Amino acid sequence: MAVAALLCLLWTYLEILTGDVSATTAGISSRFGSEVFALLAPLVLSVAILFSALLTAAAVAQEKDRKTLVLLLLTRLTNAELVVGRLLASLLAVLMVVAATAPFFFLVVLFGGISYGQVARVLAVTVMSALAAGSLGSTVALWREKTFQALAITTLFLVLWLLGWEAVASGALGSSLGGFDARSLAIAMSPWQALLAAAESDLSRDARIGHAAIGGWAPVSAFFLSSVIGVVALNLLAIFRVRAWNSTSETAASSGDQEAATSDSGTGSAAIHPLQGKRREVWDNPILWREIRTWAYGKKIVAVRIAYVVVALISAIAMLEVLHGGDAMAAQWHSAIPAVVKPLAPLLAVSVVLVNALAVTSLTSERDARALDLLLVTDLTPKEIIFGKLGGILYNSKEVIFLPILLAAYVWYCGNASTENLVFLALGFLVVQSFSAVLGLHCGMMYSNSQQAVAVSIGTVLFLFLGIAVCMRMMVALGDQFEYQLAPFIGFIAGGGVALYAALGWKLESRALMWSLGLAPAATFYIITSFLQQQYGSATLVTLLTYGLATTAMLVPAVAEFDVATGRTGDRLD
């Protein structure tokens, strides 16, 4: 599937580049090879890093939620066998995808413009980045006791790491750092910067002054060394602390459950619950009460909120530099993509991913702990369960939802955005966040395996973001050939719609879900083109209709056909 998607993008880009002219000249072929390599190599790296980190974190968290990690600790497995074995098993799928892309990139070499050495360096950087990201996700998941905490902390740490070294590479902290050249140091520490350096052609590197060495190492070679050190350090930490972390968390979890069952229940008599303290009344919807009034996602969720605020502050500082950067920055306001959008883009993307991760884990954790089965035998209705979970998700992610809107409001306050554009942004963002939350619940119900649910849910969000990013880059780079873009994109749009329905609608024979998912890629294409043409009103309207319909199409079966959605019956929707 990954290679098929890359081949589809290859064909699409070729059609956009050449139009109705056959690419027979060496110049056109060489240009195509270099540009498609520069387009797809970062895409493969992004997918490898994100899925390595999130899949390993989800796999370890699933073991902890199902209490099987405790059983593994009781076997004759050593700590090293447990940690490294679980890591490699989780990374197997990602490493196989990277291996499958190697022949594809070697095929691109035949077009010209790139060399086999560039491809080999890029693949090596991708593999080492995947190992480092997977080690991070595994270590964090072994450390934290809740699935959402593991996913959120892993995601935020990756974002902070990448944004931090991007700031160093841009010279925001000076031309040198710790006695080393800032750009070279960023290459040695950041997967993104290392990929860009590894993808540079040998001729271009010989024709200019190379990057300064880091301790006698070339910057890309220094990245391999730093990656090895990071992988070894993270896994050694997990090996030495895995039993201490999990024995403590199990005891704390048991104590917390007993305390919640006694002092926080709000029912029963003092004779049955002898613990002293103020008793709290449970609301009519106990699901919503638990999500809002208790530490349902663990007390360490505060650390997640603090980390997100740090990311928001970094984006705000970058945005302030754009807003008050003088005439050179102000001139970019009239471009297709305003300069202020670039600092906000990572924050908006992280916000949607975090809401989605919170939503999908709110159900998968209940399923793995066998608590969902207990809820289903109570007198709670599906409506109370779904809307209780949804209300808790939106409440616990209120900072994640409203901080980007506040930053956008500051841009409006400074006079750099109109009132209608602020309203358009706020409405569109809220609709996408609602879609992300309902998507997480939908995947949590459809997939009985938590790792699959997390992979499909977050993967769908990442697919939309990465697909939009790739399409926008292709269209902006070749905007003067817009008339050639519609035809090749039809195949890509149709394939995206089929893939979305196969991942999200295969279990429910719902026509509304089929149409909403099938039309989503086409609508997204229209949203992109409208945005690039600065038609923000039409882009917002289509966003509201498209993602609003998709949200409703997933929410209605979850409430009306709860047993079908959760797989508790073999019936199908008419």
Question: For tokens 């910067």, what's the residue?
Answer: 193
**Alpha-helical runs (H) found in 115-264:** 116-143, 147-169, 182-189, 191-198, 202-207, 219-262
Take residue 268 and report the two structure tokens written for it: 């029963």
What is the C-alpha to C-alpha distance for residues 480 and 464, in angstroms, rounded to an integer?
A: 25
In a domain, 359, yes or no: yes
**What DSSP assignment string belongs to 413-458?**
HTTSS-HHHHHHHHHHHHHHHHHHHHHHHHHHHH-SSHHHHHHHHH
Range of the domain at 384: 289-565
Task: Give how far Cα 107 sits from Cα of 38, 114, 123, 221, 485, Å.
Answer: 14, 11, 14, 25, 24
Number of domains in the chain: 2
What is the C-alpha to C-alpha distance for residues 157 and 138, in angstroms, rounded to an integer?
A: 13
Tell me which DSSP letter residue 75 carries.
S
Neighbours of 406 (CB within 10 A): 11
| Domain shared by 455 and 349, yes or no | yes
Q: What is the pLDDT of residue 259?
A: 41
* Residues 57 and 154 sit within 8 Å (Cβ to Cβ): yes
In a domain, 400, yes or no: yes
| Domain shared by 243 and 300, yes or no | no
What is the C-alpha to C-alpha distance for residues 427 and 401, in angstroms, rounded to an integer?
A: 12
In a domain, 10, yes or no: no
Q: What is the pLDDT of residue 484?
A: 56
Q: What is the pLDDT of residue 79?
A: 93
What is the C-alpha to C-alpha distance for residues 55 and 130, in angstroms, rounded to an integer?
A: 11
Phi and psi for 167 in degrees, rounded to 5?
-65, -40
| Domain shared by 330 and 189, yes or no | no
| Domain shared by 238 and 306, yes or no | no
Q: Single out the residue in 247, 274, 303 at which a domain terminates.
A: 247
Task: Give how far Cα 164 sits from Cα of 161, 215, 296, 301, Å.
Answer: 5, 21, 32, 23
| Strand, coil or helix: 78 | coil
Has this prediction a pTM greater than 0.85? no
Q: Single out the residue in 220, 247, 274 at which a domain terminates.
A: 247
Q: What is the pLDDT of residue 32?
A: 78
In a domain, 189, yes or no: yes
In a domain, 265, yes or no: no
Residue 176: its H or E element: strand 176-177
Per-residue pLDDT of the chain in tens (574 residues, 90 and over written 9): 677 777 777 776 676 666 545 545 777 778 778 888 888 888 899 989 999 999 999 999 888 888 888 888 888 989 999 999 999 999 999 999 999 999 999 988 888 888 898 999 999 999 999 999 999 999 999 998 888 889 999 999 998 898 888 888 887 777 777 778 888 889 999 999 999 888 876 544 433 445 666 655 778 888 999 999 999 999 999 999 999 988 754 444 444 444 444 334 444 444 444 555 566 777 888 888 888 888 877 777 888 888 899 889 988 888 888 777 654 444 444 455 666 677 888 888 889 999 999 999 988 888 888 887 788 778 888 888 889 999 999 999 999 999 999 998 988 888 888 889 889 989 999 999 999 999 999 888 888 888 888 888 888 887 777 766 676 666 665 555 555 555 556 666 666 677 777 777 766 777 788 888 777 777 877 787 777 777 888 888 988 998 898 899 888 877 776 655 565 554 443 3
| Domain shared by 216 and 333, yes or no | no
| Domain shared by 237 and 302, yes or no | no
| Domain shared by 72 and 198, yes or no | yes
In a domain, 271, yes or no: no
Q: Single out the residue in 247, 276, 307 at which a domain terminates.
A: 247
In a domain, 450, yes or no: yes
| Domain shared by 428 and 297, yes or no | yes
| Domain shared by 352 and 213, yes or no | no
